[in-house]
Amino acid sequence: MEKETSERLEEALAKAAGGDHLAFARIVREHQGMVFSLAYHFLRDRALAEELSQEVFLHLHQNLSSIKSPAHLTFWLRKVTGHRCIDQSRRQKVRPQVSLEDMPEPVAAISTSDPMLSEKLRRMVDSLPEKARMVVVLRYTEDMEPSEIARALDMPLNTVKSHLRRSLAMLREKLSRCYGEVV
């Protein structure tokens, strides 16, 4: 099944590079969730994440001829999205606050997790410096390995590991200060 998908994407890449708009639309549909998810988890702003996703796919359309394979496409999209998110964050000197109107209605769900802790943790992750935050988002939201993150962000592997180690230590310290216990 995965091989079939890869072959279809490879065919779509070749056709899209040749100017086939339907093939490009198939590539966008296949990857839009990943690009949007990465942008949204980093920026925490739906409209901004949608706009950034469109910019990434426009950039992809302009650079289709440089994409060698479906794996390279995924790598390229993560890399460009990551860099665009960091750039956007730097342009916004003040991190945006989500207004109450933009928040979806809460849905009653049976959950064993602590929603207040999750929200506190999300805000703590948002307080990390841009590059460290992108590393944490790629590691724990996109489930990427440190070596993949290093390639995607053009960082040395040890820098990625250092960002992860320092970020987790900072998050543990902040949580322990808030809750009076070592998490």
pLDDT of residue 75: 94
Burial 106-121 (b: 16+ CB within 10 A, else e): eeeeeeeeeeeeeeeb
Q: What is the pTM of this model?
A: 0.66
Average pLDDT over residues 171-179: 83
Backbone φ and ψ of 109, nearest 5°? -135, 145
| 107-146 per-position pLDDT tens digit | 544 555 667 767 888 888 888 999 999 999 999 888 899 9
pLDDT of residue 183: 46
How far, in Å, CA of 150 to CA of 120, rounded?
28
Average pLDDT over residues 27-55: 95
Q: For residue 36, what are the domain limits? A: 1-97
How far, in Å, CA of 88 to CA of 119, rounded?
23
User: Is 39 in the same domain as 15?
Assistant: yes
User: Is 120 in the same domain as 56?
Assistant: no
Among the three residues 97, 123, 143, which one is the final residue of a domain in this structure? 97
∠ CA 137-143-149, nearest 5°, is: 65
User: Is 1 in the same domain as 80?
Assistant: yes
Query: pLDDT over 90 for what percent of the chain?
Result: 58
pLDDT of residue 112: 57
| 13-29 per-position pLDDT tens digit | 999 989 999 999 999 99
Q: Exposure of 20 by Cβ count < 10 A (0-12 exposed, 13-18 middle, 19+ buried)?
A: middle
Query: pLDDT over 70 for what percent of the chain?
Result: 83
- Give the three-class secondary structure for 106: coil
- Which distant-in-sequence residues (6+ apart) come within 8 Å of 17 by Cβ? 64, 65, 67
In contact, 85 and 38? CB cutoff 8 Å? yes
In a domain, 11, yes or no: yes
- Which distant-in-sequence residues (6+ apart) come within 8 Å of 121 by Cβ? 171, 175
